[in-house]
């Protein structure tokens, strides 16, 4: 069974025992997280359940493995002939989790 969930403004296709890095979630390492924003549920070679926009009874549970920062993204702005140059970096915080159960 697989599902499409929404978290952090993005959508992810997940199956049981998948590891996934998403936008930072509130919670400590080892704690469980439940996602109730399930858009679609599917089984291999069987019917697909589609939500409008979400499925009411569907839940996806995951376990938080670690909190980390993503690779650095550099932003460089300049205006030619004006001595205006700005270089900045940003590292987005992420949560790595493992999908433990899909209910639907």
Q: Cα separation of 69 and 67, whole Å?
A: 7
Number of domains in the chain: 1
pLDDT of residue 93: 96
Is the pTM value of this prediction over 0.95? no
DSSP string across 15-74: ETT-EEEEE--SS-TT-EEEE--EEEEE-TTS-EEE-SSS-SS-EEEEEEEEEEE---EE
Q: Which domain holds residue 26?
A: 2-103
> How many other CB atoms are there within 10 angstroms of residue 104's CB atom?
15
pLDDT of residue 37: 93
Question: Going residue by residue through the chain (104 aa), what tens digit of pLDDT does each one get?
Answer: 899 999 999 999 999 999 999 999 999 999 999 999 999 999 877 788 888 999 999 999 999 999 999 999 999 999 999 999 999 999 999 999 999 999 87
């Amino acid at each position: 069974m697989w599902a499409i969930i929404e978290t952090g403004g993005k959508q992810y296709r997940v199956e049981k025992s998948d590891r996934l890095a998403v936008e930072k979630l509130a919670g400590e390492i080892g704690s469980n997280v439940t996602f109730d924003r399930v858009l679609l549920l599917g089984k291999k070679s069987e019917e697909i359940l589609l939500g409008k926009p979400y499925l009411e009874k569907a839940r996806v549970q995951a376990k938080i493995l670690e909190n980390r920062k993503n690779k650095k993204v550099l932003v460089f702005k300049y205006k030619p002939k004006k001595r205006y140059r700005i270089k900045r970096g940003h590292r987005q915080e992420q949560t790595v989790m493992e999908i433990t159960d899909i209910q639907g």
